Amino acid sequence: MKKLLILTGLILFHCIQVPAQASQSADSTKIIPSADNQTKQMDQGKTAPEADSPAGSGKNADLRKNKKSVRKAFFLSLLVPGSGEYYVGQKSYTKGFAAAEVVIWSAALYNKYQGDMRRRDYIAYAAHQSGSNPDRTDDMYYQSVYEWPNSTWYNEDQWRQARDLYPYDPAAQQAYVADKLYSSEDSWDWQNYDQWYYYRGLRVKSRNALHRISYSVGAAVLNHMLSAVNAARLAKHFNKQKIKLSQTADWRLDCYSYRPETVTLTLWRSF
């Protein structure tokens, strides 16, 4: 009898325990995720904001892609003013520096034209009024025509300098003036001072116009340098603005349910 009661109690206990275990097993299967699933969900919850955040690898790649090279901007504008600004995206600066470059070289071409035109004028005028040789193209010859009213006075002055330098050496005097004297073919003689002064005025205007080309070259160099420095500055500013935008805080709210009666809210912030 005692054994029968013990056996009956074990059967009842087993009958009660099995349904409870089955119910618990069903609940765990339907509601509670496995340890691996929980780990994966937690990992996803941790990594999702990082992947979506501006500091993630994708947005870092975008930042690197959109970043402007300061060195490239500098050398582009150093080569062609305004091109570095165009590379950065500042087209208004591009128009300004490009317009300045056009004005500078237009002025240089204009001065070159004026200088050459007035040079042709004073060569033709000297040949017509003083009898100089129009086939001579060396500037020293026309400088002598500018400084002396006639070639006779010029040749006498060269002999005087030779005698002063070599007073007792006729051979040295002859060697000194050998390449400085002008022959009758290259002689000139201004008939009056008005004609001579007019020629001098034409020559001065020609030389001044040609000399102004050097100012244009200097202005062009300055324009290139200013544009290069400005393009580098704009590229740095552009990159700083991108970094500031990328560092803006990104908030995200995630919701997880591990049990029917449990809800987990997670607020993420990426930097």
Residue 205: other Cβ atoms inside 10 A: 17
- The model's pLDDT over 34-91, given as tens digits with 9 standing for 90+, comes to 444 444 444 444 444 444 444 445 555 555 667 889 999 999 999 999 999 999 999 9
d(CA 46, CA 266): 10
Asked if 186 and 132 count as a contact pair (C-beta separation under 8 A), the reply is yes
- The model's pLDDT over 224-259, given as tens digits with 9 standing for 90+, comes to 999 999 999 999 999 888 776 655 555 565 655 555
For residue 123, which of 133, 108, 111 has the smallest C-alpha distance?
133
pLDDT band at 4 (very low <50, low <70, confident <90, very high): very low
pTM: 0.62
d(CA 126, CA 132): 6
For residue 63, what are the contacts with CB-CB under 8 A and spacing of at least 6?
Answer: 242, 243, 246
Name residue 252's beta-bridge partners. 268
For residue 129, which of 114, 157, 156, 149 has the smallest C-alpha distance?
149
Ranking 16-30, 67-81, 91-105, 143-157 by mean pLDDT, the lowest is 16-30
Residue 239: other Cβ atoms inside 10 A: 17
Asked if 130 and 191 count as a contact pair (C-beta separation under 8 A), the reply is yes
Residue 198: other Cβ atoms inside 10 A: 15
The whole-number pLDDT of residue 33 equals 45
Could you identify the residue written with the tokens 């002598």? 144
- The model's pLDDT over 146-200, given as tens digits with 9 standing for 90+, comes to 999 999 999 999 999 999 999 999 999 999 999 999 999 999 999 999 999 999 9
Asked if 99 and 107 count as a contact pair (C-beta separation under 8 A), the reply is no
pLDDT band at 264 (very low <50, low <70, confident <90, very high): low
The whole-number pLDDT of residue 65 equals 61
Output the six-digit token pair for 65: 């892609």
What integer is the mean pLDDT of 133-154? 95
The whole-number pLDDT of residue 240 equals 87
